[in-house]
């Protein structure tokens, strides 16, 4: 196919590369990457630093998002107040899920947490009185819009004359990423973090030294739930609506792809992996590929498989982290 090879990339590739120069695309990717990073900071705490395989993170994300949406839109609760409420509810569910299932073996725990996330999604779909089912909830972001416009105003006045509409969200998301990463990083260095790492290494050794491994795992899950809820709230703001399909367990699988790609037990890895997977995730949308949703998940699935087969430690991790079977 030599004709049209030069100067007509559309024809050869079947899709357009123009998106890659579009600021809107990169802002979008940046927002998704930030949300995914927050999502994965929770997963990293669980998998990378405590050794528990939490597959229910999307459920906590949904709880955070839906709490904000429902309280703002239906109960007229001030937006900023809904944030700590959503976090508190997610923590409560984290404890609720963890209590019966954290004593179980890793793959049973994984199943239990997926079941939880599916149950959340099903409830969102079917409890129409509460969640509007598949129609979703709109309009809860008006207060955020005000905040966003204020930030835009500052930017226009100081740095940039025409920021993309999503840019304020981008800033807030990544500011949160920084705060959370620093917080978790320092938490890791405390005696509490030391016990967590010991539990990851060898739970029985930790117990033989007087540490209540179960309680620590529960705390890890609860913190991760809170972080997941924050990610969910940002996702809700970026989409401007909440519907069940955006909070399906599949999102957790995307999270794991990003987590593994970046490398377990590595903080730079979390962000790097998230950026990489976000590009893969958003690209089909902008490249005008047909059936973009399918393509994006096929790619992510392939990435997971290939990573596991050939480089389980990801970009920044060490091989031993992964290969040691449970």
Contact between 209 and other proteins (CB under 8 A)?
A: yes
Q: How far apart are CA 278 and CA 287, in angstroms?
A: 14
Whose tokens are 């089909």? That residue is: 284
Contact between 316 and other proteins (CB under 8 A)?
A: no
Quote the radius of gyration of the chain (alpha carbons, Å). 21
Two tokens, residue 204 = 């029985």
Interface mask toward other proteins for 131-170; x: CB under 8 A: ----------------------------------------
User: Which one among 192, 268, 288, 319 touches other proteins, defined by CB under 8 A?
Assistant: 192
Q: Name the residue among 246, 238, 219, 228 with its Cα closest to residue 89.
A: 228
Q: How far apart are CA 59 and CA 177, in angstroms?
A: 20
Q: Which is nearer to other proteins, 3 or 290 (CB)?
A: 290
Q: Is 136 left (phi over 0), alpha (psi -120 to 50) or beta?
A: left
Q: Which is nearer to other proteins, 211 or 285 (CB)?
A: 211
Q: Name the residue among 251, 213, 273, 242 with its Cα closest to residue 70.
A: 242
Q: How far is the CB of 155 from other proteins (least distance, A)?
A: 36
Residues 6+ apart with CB under 8 A from 13: none
Q: Binders of other proteins: how many residues, by CB under 8 A?
A: 69
User: Which one among 52, 68, 114, 275 touches other proteins, defined by CB under 8 A?
Assistant: 114
User: Which one among 9, 77, 151, 211 touches other proteins, defined by CB under 8 A?
Assistant: 211
Contact 262, 271 (CB under 8 A): yes
User: Which one among 138, 174, 241, 253 touches other proteins, defined by CB under 8 A?
Assistant: 253
Q: Which is nearer to other proteins, 90 or 213 (CB)?
A: 213
Interface mask toward other proteins for 276-305; x: CB under 8 A: ---------------x-xxx-xx-xxxxxx
User: Which one among 122, 175, 179, 182 touches other proteins, defined by CB under 8 A?
Assistant: 122
User: Which one among 39, 140, 256, 286 touches other proteins, defined by CB under 8 A?
Assistant: 256
Q: Which is nearer to other proteins, 9 or 125 (CB)?
A: 125
Residue 46 DSSP one-character state: I
280 — phi, psi (to 5°)?
-60, -40
Binding site residues, other proteins, CB under 8 A: 47, 53, 100-101, 104-108, 110-112, 114-116, 118-119, 122-123, 125-126, 190-192, 194-195, 197-198, 201-202, 204-213, 219, 250, 253, 256-257, 260, 291, 293-295, 297-298, 300-305, 307-309, 312, 320-326
């Amino acid at each position: 196919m030599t004709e049209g090879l030069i100067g007509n990339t559309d024809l050869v590739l079947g899709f357009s590369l123009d998106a890659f120069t579009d600021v809107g695309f990169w802002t979008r990717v940046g927002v998704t990457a930030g949300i995914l990073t927050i999502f994965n900071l929770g997963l990293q705490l669980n998998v990378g630093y405590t050794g528990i395989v939490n597959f229910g993170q999307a459920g906590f994300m949904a709880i955070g998002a839906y709490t904000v949406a429902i309280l703002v839109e239906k109960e007229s609760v001030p937006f900023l107040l809904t944030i700590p409420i959503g976090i508190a509810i997610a923590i409560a569910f984290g404890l609720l899920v963890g209590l019966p299932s954290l004593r179980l073996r890793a793959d049973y725990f994984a199943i239990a947490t997926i079941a939880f996330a599916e149950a959340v999604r099903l409830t969102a779909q079917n409890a129409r009185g509460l969640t509007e089912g598949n129609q979703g909830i709109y309009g809860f972001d008006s207060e955020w819009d005000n905040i966003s416009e204020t930030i835009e105003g500052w930017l226009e006045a100081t740095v940039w004359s025409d920021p993309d509409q999503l840019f304020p969200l981008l800033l807030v998301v990544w500011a949160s990423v920084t705060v959370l990463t620093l917080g978790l990083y320092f938490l890791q260095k405390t005696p509490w973090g030391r016990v967590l790492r010991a539990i990851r290494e060898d739970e029985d050794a930790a117990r033989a030294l007087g540490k209540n491994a179960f309680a620590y795992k529960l705390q890890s899950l609860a913190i991760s739930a809170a972080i997941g809820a924050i990610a969910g709230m940002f996702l809700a703001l970026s989409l401007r609506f909440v519907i069940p399909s955006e909070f399906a367990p599949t999102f957790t699988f995307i999270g794991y792809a990003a987590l593994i790609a970046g490398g377990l037990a590595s903080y730079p890895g979390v962000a790097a992996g998230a950026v990489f997977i976000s590009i893969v995730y958003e690209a089909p949308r902008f490249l005008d590929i047909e059936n973009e949703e399918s393509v994006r998940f096929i790619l992510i699935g392939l990435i997971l498989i290939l990573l596991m087969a050939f480089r389980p430690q990801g970009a920044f991790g060490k091989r031993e982290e992964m290969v040691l079977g449970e």
